[in-house]
Amino acid sequence: MSGRNRPLAAILGCGGPRLSERERAFFRDADPYGFVLFQRNCEDPDQVRGLVAALRETVGRSDAPVLIDQEGGRVRRLKPPHWPEHPAAARFGALAARDPDRAERAVRLHATAVAAMLSELHIDVDAAPVLDLAFRGASDVVGDRAFGDDPATVARLGRATCEGFLDGGVLPIIKHMPGHGRATVDSHHALPVVTVDLDSLAAADFGPFRALADAPWGMTGHIVLAAVDPDRPATQSPLVIERIIRGAIGFDGVLVSDDLSMNALSGTLGQRAAAAVAAGCDLALHCNGVFAEMMAVAAAAPALADRTIERLRRGEDRRRRPDAIDPVATLARVDAMLAA
């Protein structure tokens, strides 16, 4: 495959539950590697399946990945009445404090059920689990999305979550590398700056990511680590990506940026995308579906690099053939395990 014929190193959203003709033409011409869905794109199961098929048809690749944020708790794009409620990570962390083995079983079962729910919709990548630690006094942008404040517990439950997704044929994305838990502002609205020394970060924040360095996909955080690069957020910092994410943590999977439209980043959308890929992100992620912004990202994003293609291939090799399960009944079992 020549560089000219490769898809763009970009994941893009769309504006609503159905593609406009302008979106179809744009995706056909731009050829992003994959797509991401948000709540605005999800009305009911038949509609979602139709949208997923339409997105893949535009790029002519039936295996183009379709991502979603379906963590559980407050971060989920698929909601009642068509999809069941399911718990936030903190509930599994609370169970782990009482019964670590039971918590590990419960969180793996939970991930398997979520994967089954996504597979029914032909969605094949979930932006979960969150491996950020919970810190007192930090912004609630992480909050109950974290399993807890103990690196070993977060790593154990994160590992079980990844295995559950893979059991269900869905690729997980560990996030937000190299650790977003200390942020005192929400990166959707402003740029967090962490001034803690590198030894403290290595001893705590990096731990869960280091333990899951073999995960197929990971996501960067829009957060400045002053001890490593005081001038650029991790998403756009070659120092953070090369020295910490690829180096100290040892992650060699597919690295996707967090959403480029978040206000933590500055510059035009094209500048943001170019900086993220130049820093070492494999894929630039743009989520809001705003057409002019997508055009700017597509104009700035390069074709997939050789190293990215290899990482994507290794990730695909991790998928397992899922067993047929009822996600609603399985999530009910998980609730019973959490309540016991």
State the catalytic residues: 188, 258
Residue keyed to tokens 């030894």: 199
Please state whether the peptide bond connecting residue 81 to the residue before it is cis, i.e. omega within 30 degrees of 0: yes
* Distance (Å, whole) CA 287 – CA 123: 16
